[in-house]
Copies of this chain bind each other. A is one copy, B any other.
Amino acid sequence: MVKVAVLGYGTIGRGVVTVLQGNADTIEKKAGKRVEVKKILDLRDFPGDPNADKVVHDYEEIRTDGEIQIVVECMGGLEPAYTFVKTALQQGRSVATSNKELVAKYGAELIEIAKENTCNFLFEASVGGAIPIIRPLLSCLTADKIEEIAGILNGTTNYMLSKMEREGADFHEVLKEAQAKGYAELHPEADIEGWDACRKIAILTSLAYEKQVDFEDIPTEGITNITAEDIMYAKKMERTIKLIGQSWISEGKVYAMVSPMLIEMDHPLAPVKGVFNAIFVHGNMVDDVMFYGQGAGSLPTASAVAADVVDCVKHIGKTVKINWSKEKLALGDIGGFERKFFVRLPGDTPEDKIRDLFGEVEMITVPGLDEKAFVTKAIKENDFDKAAAAVNVINRIRLH
């Protein structure tokens, strides 16, 4: 029997308890031992809840309980999650977490502390929710040099873009509806500004290249500027607009970025709709692989956390090797990276001027829109910005 404490009894924490209790027999078979939720930390009380008697309000009750071997952290945010997790690891207790902020910021350090204390710090659910991606990166794609990771890493924005595409609806209209349905939060900035996707691509990139990628270093752009007109142009180009968290290698340098991108319809990420997430990986040998599933949701995310608990049980007394050093990975300068841009200018912009500024371009017209819209050749971001400053850009979107 292995006893577990769950920190936070919100959407994910409650899901973890449901999975650990509801699939207890399956889990026992896979883990080799029975797993029992002994204590749940939350500031609130839950009268009537079947686990109400397990709820404690003070972390001290968990810290000092010598029976607890595994701690599941589902509180979110940096504090007090960081302090609690660190304390648990220093006590030699393994930790499973779904907390992407914690992992992006302190992943390397917590992995090191786990190693020093011969326990484990696992975080499969911190990226892509239910999707197995961390473990496949660490234990399946081990014979490859990873050349690109591109992910639809945020369900809220993918739901919104899918809906805009399907209904020709406007961003603000769709946001309001998503908030009413609970798919978007009342303060939706972390999703729509790309900050959530940014932390997730930082984690994946750190794991792929085994060094610390600071999320603050990743140029990040959200979807707030995407309009119904952009979607019309995308259709004309037989592409779809997705918020992509991406990292890639070019001339020996690792680049990373989060931004809306125009994806070709036959790319495996293109059909990923609604709240689903997907992570595309290109390796120098494996070619293209993709992992798809629920990026959020109580039980799906909890399933990934519970699978980490199973792994913690299987590895009591040893540490699963995770190469992610504290050494900082210097990212390549995005300004010097070449790519194609889709650009919309007012209808009265002379085409000569466009070609003077942007070089050869391919014009795109959508009936009813009095604009000059075009796709550039691959040009450096810096050069593009310089050219764009000389005209009145309505919007511009990167091509994948």
Which residues of A approach B to under 8 Å, CB–CB?
A: 15, 18-20, 22-23, 26-27, 29-32, 124, 130-132, 135-136, 139-145, 210, 266, 268, 270-271, 273, 276, 283-294, 297, 299-300, 302-304, 306-307, 309-311, 314, 321, 323
The count of identical subunits is 2
The answer on a CB contact under 8 Å between A286 and B266 is no
Across-interface contacts of A140 in B (CB, < 8 A):
124, 132, 135-136, 304, 307
Q: How far is the CB of A19 from chain B (nearest CB, A)?
A: 5
The answer on a CB contact under 8 Å between A31 and B142 is yes
Across-interface contacts of A273 in B (CB, < 8 A):
266
- What are 20 pairs between A and B in contact, CB < 8 Å? A23-B144, A23-B145, A26-B143, A26-B144, A132-B140, A135-B135, A135-B139, A135-B140, A140-B304, A141-B303, A143-B304, A143-B309, A266-B273, A270-B271, A285-B299, A285-B306, A286-B303, A289-B292, A290-B290, A290-B291
A276 to B266, CA, bound (A): 12
Across-interface contacts of A32 in B (CB, < 8 A):
321
The answer on a CB contact under 8 Å between A19 and B306 is no
What is the predominant secondary structure among interface residues of chain A facing chain B? mixed
Across-interface contacts of A130 in B (CB, < 8 A):
286-287, 289
The answer on a CB contact under 8 Å between B29 and A210 is yes
The answer on a CB contact under 8 Å between A294 and B299 is no
The answer on a CB contact under 8 Å between A29 and B323 is yes
Across-interface contacts of A15 in B (CB, < 8 A):
285
A122 to B162, CA, bound (A): 40
A27 to B284, CA, bound (A): 13
Q: How far is the CB of A15 from chain B (nearest CB, A)?
A: 8
CB < 8 Å: which of B266, B287, B300 contacts A300?
A: B287
Q: In chain B, what residue has the closest Cβ to A16?
A: B143
The answer on a CB contact under 8 Å between B285 and A289 is no
The answer on a CB contact under 8 Å between B284 and A23 is yes
Across-interface contacts of A304 in B (CB, < 8 A):
140, 143, 286
Q: How far is the CB of A324 from chain B (nearest CB, A)?
A: 12
A310 to B323, CA, bound (A): 14
A23-B284, A30-B143, A135-B139 known; 16 other A-B pairs, CB under 8 Å? A18-B285, A23-B285, A26-B143, A31-B142, A130-B289, A135-B136, A139-B139, A140-B307, A142-B310, A143-B302, A143-B307, A143-B309, A270-B271, A271-B271, A286-B303, A291-B291
The answer on a CB contact under 8 Å between B143 and A136 is no
A268 to B2, CA, bound (A): 37
A210 to B210, CA, bound (A): 34
A290 to B292, CA, bound (A): 5
Q: In chain B, what residue has the closest Cβ to A132?
A: B140
Q: How far is the CB of A208 from chain B (nearest CB, A)?
A: 11
A299 to B285, CA, bound (A): 5
A393 to B18, CA, bound (A): 49
CB < 8 Å: which of B22, B31, B289 contacts A291?
A: B289
Query: Which of A23, A32, A144, A287 has most B Cβ within 10 Å?
Result: A144
Q: How far is the CB of A288 from chain B (nearest CB, A)?
A: 6
A302 to B283, CA, bound (A): 12
A291 to B288, CA, bound (A): 11
Across-interface contacts of A29 in B (CB, < 8 A):
210, 323
A15 to B312, CA, bound (A): 35
CB < 8 Å: which of B135, B285, B306, B311 contacts A303?
A: B285
Across-interface contacts of A309 in B (CB, < 8 A):
143
Across-interface contacts of A306 in B (CB, < 8 A):
142-143, 285
Q: How far is the CB of A184 from chain B (nearest CB, A)?
A: 20
Q: How far is the CB of A294 from chain B (nearest CB, A)?
A: 5
A32 to B321, CA, bound (A): 10
The answer on a CB contact under 8 Å between B293 and A287 is yes
